[in-house]
Amino acid sequence: MFDIEITEEAPVDPDRVDEKLGQLSHAGISIALEDFGTGFSTLASLKDSRIRKVKIDQGFIRGLAKSRENRLLVKAVIDLGRTLGIEVMAEGVETEADRQTLYKLGCRTAQGFLFSKAVPLHLALDSVVKEHAKEL
Selection from 39, 51, 63 nearest residue 112 by Cα = 63
Structural domain boundaries of the chain? 3-135
Confidence of residue 82 (pLDDT cuts 50, 70, 90): very high
The percentage of residues in the chain with a pLDDT greater than 70, rounded to a whole number, is: 79
pLDDT per position as a tens digit, 36-63: 766 655 676 777 677 788 899 999 999 9
12: left (phi over 0), alpha (psi -120 to 50) or beta: beta
Mean pLDDT of 118-126: 83
Selection from 66, 45, 53 nearest residue 108 by Cα = 53
**Of residues 107 and 28, which shows the higher confidence score?**
107
Q: What is the DSSP letter of 49?
A: T
**Whole-number mean pLDDT of the chain?**
82
Q: Domain 3-135: which topology?
A: TIM Barrel (3.20.20)
Mean pLDDT of 70-83: 95
